Structure 1
Amino acid sequence: MKTKICILLTFLGAYLTAQENTTKILPAEIQIKTAVLPAPEADKEAAMVYGYDTTGNMVVLRQGSNNLICLADDPSKEGISVSCYSKKLEPFMKRGRELTAEGKNFKEKREIRGMEVAQGKIKMPNEPSMTYIYYGSEAGYNPDTGELADGQFRYVIYTPFATTESTGLPDKPHAKGMPWLMDPGTFRAHIMVGPFN
């Protein structure tokens, strides 16, 4: 009898631990409210929003009618990070999400997308395309209101194949918050701005 009770308590303990480690998915309206935090005020209401359903799968939480797509915070990752980007970047961003779901690492994703851009399978925008990012700690996040008290902004402007020569930008920042060009000369060339503190 004692053995059965010990086994039962062991299974119960394991079950409760598993329940504690289960990722909590916030209500869609809170995910949306947080997802649009980085967007300009005038664009928040009409932005399309991707978030997570109750099983943790990424889904469209809200259809949009403007030029922005916003991503809710990934509940499986530490901290809070949300972003909004130009619809012109969606083929590139979507492919990245697909490759992540396949278990590809950063290097593999970069190589595959680079090859697919070269083959014309992924179309990168011809003009600069904006991405807004807002991030902070879980301690500063209120899951009841969707607000992030300690958030910081970072801005990314994709300019495929731009170089330091064509932009006049350095390939590393000389001061906090200054613009600089990351991955110059490649399909992922982008101007980084921020964080500012």
Structure 2
Amino acid sequence: MKSIITAMVFTVILISCNSSDKTKNTIQESSITETAKDSSSNDVKKQLKAIDTDEALIATALMAAPAESRSRCKVIGYNMAGEFVTLREGDNQFIVLADNPNQDGFNAACYHKDLEPFMARGRALREEGKTGQEIFAIREAEMKSGQIKITPGSTLHIYYGAQTVYDPESSKVEGAQLRYVVYLPWATSESTGLPNTPMAPNHPWIMNPGTHRAHIMISPLPEEIE
């Protein structure tokens, strides 16, 4: 009798173990399947493309502008044919400068339209072959004489990175990030209370103090890549 009872108990334990193993295997298989699905989904999501059309130049350049203003920004810059043109008309306060496809890396900018005379003067002087120092000196003299001006507080948004591929779904350039410039002509550390060098990452500081090009630099930390 005891041997019969022992056999029955052993059978119940064996069935229970088999059932537990099947459940565990099912959970593991389900987990693997979900992981595969997530991996596949991420691969589909990140179909990166080269920035090699005028449409791509416009889409990626607009990432420099505030999201709520992108639909009405004017976009200027070099097209794929190497001509400096108006890539898209706009009617709000922003002008967006597209990345130059003939230069390494990615660099687009967005600024208030009142800064355009200052920016255009810099572009014209570069076309003449002037060096960075010469452009600085010429615009400094023209600012002092009133030929060109910068409204204090005018902001430049810069969207930049080392790569030139983007996600066509979001228009984000791979690895690109933002930094900001707030122009305060002739400002100094003493007049603003800002340091002349950043005290720590992500901290504002004043660059070119005491000159026509004095500006607050704000460089947000790059987003963590998941």
Give the TM-score category using the shorter length: 0.7 to 0.9
What is the rounded CA distance, in whole Å, between the counterparts of 2:158 and 2:127 in structure 1? Answer: 21
Structure 1 residue 54 displacement after superposition: 4.5
| TM-score normalised by L of structure 2 | 0.71
Query: 2:117 is matched with which residue?
Result: 91
Q: Does residue 147 of structure 2 align to residue 142 of structure 1? A: no
Q: Does residue 224 of structure 2 align to residue 185 of structure 1? A: no
Check the 8 A contact 2:58/2:87 in 1, yes or no.
Answer: yes
1:72-91 aligned at under 5 Å gives the runs: 72-91=98-117
Question: Structure 1 25/38 Cα, relative in aligned 2: closer, same or farther at 3 Å?
Answer: closer
| TM-score normalised by L of structure 1 | 0.81
Check the 8 A contact 1:70/1:85 in 2, yes or no.
Answer: yes
Higher helix proportion (structure 1 or 2): 2
Structure 1 residue 195 displacement after superposition: 4.5
Query: What runs of 5+ residues in structure 1 fail to find an aligned partner?
Result: 1-23
Residue correspondences, number:
172
Structure 1 residue 143 displacement after superposition: 8.0
CA offsets 1:47-95 (integer angstroms, 9 cap, x no match): 1100223531211111211111111101121101111011121111110
Which amino acid letter does the alignment assign opposite residue 27 of structure 1? Answer: T
1:25-174 aligned at under 5 Å gives the runs: 26-125=52-151, 127-138=152-163, 141-142=165-166, 146-174=171-199
Aligned-pair identity in percent equals 45
What is the rounded CA distance, in whole Å, between the counterparts of 1:28 and 1:155 in structure 2? Answer: 25
Compute the RMSD of aligned alpha carbons: 1.9
3-state SS of paired residue (1:147): coil
The structure whose Rg is larger is: 2
3-state SS of paired residue (2:124): helix
3-state SS of paired residue (1:59): strand
Which amino acid letter does the alignment assign opposite residue 135 of structure 1? Answer: Y
Check the 8 A contact 1:49/1:60 in 2, yes or no.
Answer: yes
What is the rounded CA distance, in whole Å, between the counterparts of 1:25 and 1:106 in structure 2? Answer: 28
What is the rounded CA distance, in whole Å, between the counterparts of 1:132 and 1:53 in structure 2? Answer: 21
What is the rounded CA distance, in whole Å, between the counterparts of 2:201 and 2:64 in structure 1? Answer: 19
Check the 8 A contact 1:68/1:87 in 2, yes or no.
Answer: yes
Query: What runs of 5+ residues in structure 2 fail to find an aligned partner?
Result: 1-49
Show structure 1 runs of 4+ deviating over 6 A.
Answer: none
